[in-house]
Amino acid sequence: MSKYNALWGYIQKDGSSSLKLSFAKIHDILGFEIDYSFLKYKKELIQHGYQVGKISLKEKTVVFNKIG
């Protein structure tokens, strides 16, 4: 079980073709801040039909895109 499963489930349940979440919203979902390990774990999202599109440190957002 991944520490990011709650986030992956949230994204999959939303079902949008593209979803932009703030770091604050991700913190609300997970209960902790995303860190550098997110770059390693983001590969798991593919199993849920999504991929990470863009991580903006300036805007403090992450864009998730549906695959296919």
The per-residue pLDDT of the chain, averaged, comes to 96
Range of the domain at 48: 5-66
pLDDT in tens, 23-54: 999 999 999 999 999 999 999 999 999 999 99
Domain count, the chain: 1
What Rg value do the Cα atoms of the chain yield, rounded?
11
Q: How far is CA 18 from the centre of its chain?
A: 11
At 4 the pLDDT is 97
Strands 61-66 and 50-56: antiparallel
Sole residue written with tokens 């770091």: 23
The pTM score is 0.92
Q: Which residues pair with 21 in a beta bridge?
A: 62
42 to 29, 33, 48: CA distances (angstroms): 15, 14, 11
